[in-house]
Amino acid sequence: MSGLPGAAEGGFHTLRDGAGGRGNAMVQSTPRTSEAAAGPGKRPKLRCHVVPGVHRLEHAYVNCYVLEEAGALTIVDTAHPSTWSVMLRALTALGRTPADVRAIVLTHAHFDHLGFARRAQMEWGVPILAHVEEQELAAHPYSYAHENPRLIYPVQHPKAIPALFGMVRAGALRVKGVTGLEPMRPGEVLDVPGHPRVVFTPGHTFGHCALQLAAADAVLSGDALVTFNPYTGGEGPQIVSGAATADSAKALESLAALAETRASVVLPGHGREWRDGAGAAASVALAAGPS
């Protein structure tokens, strides 16, 4: 720790009590290690209580969420391999330790959501839950179905280049596969801190699931609906490009399941929260269509 005035606990932006996106009491400092590679404006950010009981850790263009209930934690999605050290500092900033983490839940097993899952499984001994259709992908995170060639996107969408390079620098191309996932079923309320309800939203991947948080009136949409598309750099509610989506038509159909949650807040796998309701987010994404 530098001890300099303005240095943040944990070495990242810490935003507290973020309701309404106002972000008071922002603290920042210069990151010292690999997080610096996240790039200007993209250092890790911890948003405490983005909705009550839910903290968002953003690292290199990917969001993880920490669900807190009675002092115990669930981590939803695990971003990149180098997010491990960032998450450890986030837990400290939250006044918690790894011993408080009871489970990891994956919306899906793409490499940019699987980053430190294997390490957490081995070092913390926590269960990792995902839909059964994600098991194969989790074991082989680079063998994923996608509709369109990936390399044309940075050419056609130069705005996406910082995000793609940022993810690579955070270790996105060296994610280790994970086995031994515990299956979660559509409609099930998971017996883990935060008690998310599993909302089956296939299309982006074949077993993608969103997670509804009834008490917080929110839904974690994973990559079923994002507000930042890493493959185009586009902002606003949309499905992810065909570069990383297995079946865009199915992904567009699955937006109805998100709308049916009637959640007030949508917390996506990439991009900021959307506070105008899941129904409106789904309508905007449907109108935007595939990319």
Binding-site ranges for Zn ion (CB under 5 A): 110, 112, 223, 269
**Closer CB to Zn ion, 194 or 269, in the complex:** 269
Distances (CA, A) of 136 to 24, 108, 126, 150, 171: 42, 11, 20, 21, 21
Q: What gap in Å lies between CA 229 and CA 237, rounded to an integer? A: 9
CB of 52 to Zn ion, least distance (A): 25
CB of 90 to Zn ion, least distance (A): 19
**Closer CB to Zn ion, 66 or 94, in the complex:** 66
**Closer CB to Zn ion, 27 or 168, in the complex:** 168
Q: What gap in Å lies between CA 71 and CA 170, rounded to an integer? A: 29
**Closer CB to Zn ion, 8 or 75, in the complex:** 75
CB of 161 to Zn ion, least distance (A): 17
CB of 93 to Zn ion, least distance (A): 24
**Closer CB to Zn ion, 29 or 245, in the complex:** 245
CB of 4 to Zn ion, least distance (A): 34
**Closer CB to Zn ion, 35 or 112, in the complex:** 112
Q: Please write down the long-range contacts of 34-39, taking CB distance under 8 Å and 24 or more positions apart.
A: 34/82, 34/85, 34/169, 34/170, 35/11, 35/59, 35/82, 35/85, 35/86, 37/82, 37/166, 37/169, 37/170, 38/166, 38/169, 38/170, 39/162, 39/165, 39/166, 39/169
Contact 114, 178 (CB under 8 A): yes
Whose tokens are 């669930």? That residue is 74
**Closer CB to Zn ion, 11 or 116, in the complex:** 116
CB of 110 to Zn ion, least distance (A): 3
Q: String of b and e for 96-106 (b: at least 16 CB within 10 Å)?
A: beeeebbbbbb
CB of 112 to Zn ion, least distance (A): 4
Structure tokens at 80: 């990149």
